[in-house]
Amino acid sequence: MSQRDTEHFRCCVEQIGTDVARVFSDESGMLFVVDHDGSSLEAFSPRPPLENGHVPKDFEIQRSLTQRFSARRSTHRGGGGPPFSVNIATGDTYLTVADGPASRAHPLCGSAASRDYNARPMTAVIFAIAVAIFLVANVAAFCVLLRVHPRRRWIVIALFVVSNLMWFFFPILNARTDFSRFVRATFGPPWFAWTCFAILYSTFALLLAIAWLPFRSRMPFARFARWPSRIFLWATLFSLVAGVWNALVPLRIERVPIVSDGARPLRISLISDLHTGLFSRTSRLERIFTTAAAQKPDVILLAGDNVDDDPIFTAKLLAATRVLDPRMPLLAVLGNHEMYGQPFEVIDRLRSSRIRLLVNEGVPINGVWIAGLSDFAARTPKLAPDVDAALRGRNGAFPILLAHQPKAFAEAMKRGLPITICGHSHGGQCAIRPLHWSLAGVFLPYHMGLYRRGASQLYVNTGTGYWLFPWRFGIGISPEITVIDLRPKL
């Protein structure tokens, strides 16, 4: 049992109220806890008991651990009765505590379950605030449009109704039925587009209202705002059409040479954030894979969010890979959207398929170790990111850390890893690449392109697909396939 697991267990035993005198583990991996009066607590370690026939170092540390906890047992147990039985089952996040005929479940202190439980109130508050903002902006935009453009009232009403139908179907979004998939794919994009528009337009209207105040005695607000509103709406329409075309038609090759000490020559075609869903065109996916293969890479990497939540779409993704030469290595990692759905089903569907899925594991390619990291959105400890596990077995090979989210770069820098490859940001789907500006940069420190921090480098792909609404607007933000040419420093 690792030190972190020990701390989790120790904290929970304190909560139960037991005075523990000794904690140790034998070679089978069973953890024994003996309290002051000789009663025995038993727990089963979530770690493998042996490594190469020897007891791991953390077990040796655990065996010699001696620690007394607060003497609350007599208070809770009255000084008698049968001993507690504590079981930590493999991968569980709960301690099951049996005290005679009764049993209690305690969240593993500091575990994902405990963190999720403690985070729920804050998450609910943030969600409620976001919904309130959306609703206020929604109603405000609708009312201002009706007032400023009364001759277009039926167009405004129709757009408002169609774009807000999605609210009624939120409760069934995760039902995973044909109907729920159709609803999400059909009403989700207009809802998202209208919500973004409503926030921008209501903000614009507020600024207009402030500018109108000095003139309020001379003209009504509707008259003052009409032409500025028309300009705003025409600009919105232009960006809508240009953005949709940019998301669905072009395909951009971004060539990135990376030089690093000790690197082996390697060419990588990087694809990220395909978000394969109901309306994803098979022909488009095939074109993406064909274009990636045409760059003559040594390996093609998929940097997560390969499907849009629902594992059923892995079939469409796999069908598109048939255009690839079967000898071409095709590696992938999980993204946050796989985690939002049913990640274990995605793993099951991709195991033994054309796509080699790396979940905290690695594989050698031409003397380079591609270490695939699980995603930070994992809701179970079994899928939590583990860089050490991903690097295990590389035997001195040059490492490249492949992850979905750029936050993996912090771990890479801590370990001195030379190269990290990520996606996730989409560049906010609104960017000006020559200025290295993107909408995602408002929220993320690493959002687009190549970064160097000391001896470590990070590349963030801005996405080959799109999320929910097919829209990409700006310069250098069309769907991206990255060609990374890795070279040693001379």
Are 327 and 362 part of one and the same domain?
Answer: yes
Contacts of 350 (CB under 8 A, 6+ apart): 314, 318, 332, 357
pLDDT at 32 > cutoff 60: no
When mean pLDDT is compared across 123-127, 295-299, 353-357, 393-397, the lowest value belongs to 123-127
Q: Is residue 232 within 8 Å of residue 460, measured between CB atoms?
A: no
Are 20 and 143 part of one and the same domain?
Answer: no
Are 349 and 276 part of one and the same domain?
Answer: yes
Report the pLDDT value the prediction gives residue 111, as an integer from 0 to 100.
Answer: 40
Helix (H, G, I), strand (E, B) or coil at 428: helix
Span 77-102, pLDDT tens digits: 444 443 333 333 333 333 333 333 33
Are 289 and 149 part of one and the same domain?
Answer: no
Check which CATH number belongs to the domain holding 406 and give it: 3.60.21.10
Q: Is residue 465 within 8 Å of residue 421, measured between CB atoms?
A: no
Mean pLDDT for 148-156 is 96
Report the pLDDT value the prediction gives residue 131, as an integer from 0 to 100.
Answer: 87
When mean pLDDT is compared across 12-26, 114-128, 373-387, the lowest value belongs to 12-26
Looking at the chain, the whole-number percentage of residues with pLDDT higher than 90 is 72
pLDDT at 5 > cutoff 50: no
End position of a domain, from candidates 67, 90, 110: 110
Mean pLDDT for 452-461 is 97
Q: Is 202 exposed, middle or buried (0-12, 13-18, 19+ CB in 10 A)?
A: buried
* Sign of torsion over alpha carbons 357, 112, 180, 468: negative
Report the pLDDT value the prediction gives residue 11, as an integer from 0 to 100.
Answer: 43
Please give the Cα distance from 383 to 386 (Å, whole number).
8
Report the pLDDT value the prediction gives residue 209, as an integer from 0 to 100.
Answer: 96
Q: Read off the DSSP letter of residue 374.
A: P
Please give the Cα distance from 40 to 58 (Å, whole number).
22
Mean pLDDT for 379-405 is 96
Please give the Cα distance from 303 to 237 (Å, whole number).
32
Are 262 and 360 part of one and the same domain?
Answer: yes
- Concatenated DSSP letters of 226-262: HHHHHHHHHHHHHHHHHHHHHHHS--EEEEEEEEETT
Pick from 326, 257, 337: nearest CA to 289: 326
Between 13 and 377, the more confident residue is 377
Are 117 and 105 part of one and the same domain?
Answer: no
Span 237-274, pLDDT tens digits: 999 999 999 999 999 999 999 999 999 999 999 999 99
Are 29 and 84 part of one and the same domain?
Answer: yes
Report the pLDDT value the prediction gives residue 66, as an integer from 0 to 100.
Answer: 30
Report the pLDDT value the prediction gives residue 130, as an integer from 0 to 100.
Answer: 86
Please give the Cα distance from 236 to 232 (Å, whole number).
6
Report the pLDDT value the prediction gives residue 292, as an integer from 0 to 100.
Answer: 98
Report the pLDDT value the prediction gives residue 120, as an integer from 0 to 100.
Answer: 55
Q: Which amino acid is at 459?
A: Y
Q: Is residue 419 within 8 Å of residue 409, measured between CB atoms?
A: no
Angle between helices 178-212 and 112-148 (to 10 degrees): 60
End position of a domain, from candidates 110, 131, 166: 110
Report the pLDDT value the prediction gives residue 125, as an integer from 0 to 100.
Answer: 84
> What domain range is 169 assigned to?
113-247
Task: List the alpha helices (DSSP H) in 23-111.
Answer: 57-63, 73-77
Tokens of 14: 């304190």
Length of the chain: 490
Q: Is 432 exposed, middle or buried (0-12, 13-18, 19+ CB in 10 A)?
A: middle
Mean pLDDT for 361-374 is 97
Are 349 and 296 part of one and the same domain?
Answer: yes
Report the pLDDT value the prediction gives residue 15, as an integer from 0 to 100.
Answer: 39
Q: Is 471 exposed, middle or buried (0-12, 13-18, 19+ CB in 10 A)?
A: buried
Span 160-197, pLDDT tens digits: 999 999 999 999 988 889 999 999 999 999 999 999 99
Are 142 and 256 part of one and the same domain?
Answer: no
End position of a domain, from candidates 55, 90, 110: 110
The total of structural domains in the chain comes to 3
Are 71 and 54 part of one and the same domain?
Answer: yes
pLDDT at 14 > cutoff 70: no
Q: In what order do the strands lie in the sheet with 20-25?
A: 20-25, 30-35, 40-44
Are 127 and 169 part of one and the same domain?
Answer: yes
Q: Mean pLDDT in the chain?
A: 82
Tell me phi and psi for residue 150, to 5 degrees.
-65, -30
Q: In which band, very low, low, confident or very high, does the pLDDT at 423 lie, cut at 50, 70 and 90?
A: very high
When mean pLDDT is compared across 74-78, 218-222, 449-453, 472-476, the lowest value belongs to 74-78
Report the run of H or E that residue 420 belongs to, with start and end: strand 419-422
pLDDT at 361 > cutoff 90: yes
pLDDT at 51 > cutoff 90: no
Looking at the chain, the whole-number percentage of residues with pLDDT higher than 70 is 75
Are 309 and 434 part of one and the same domain?
Answer: yes
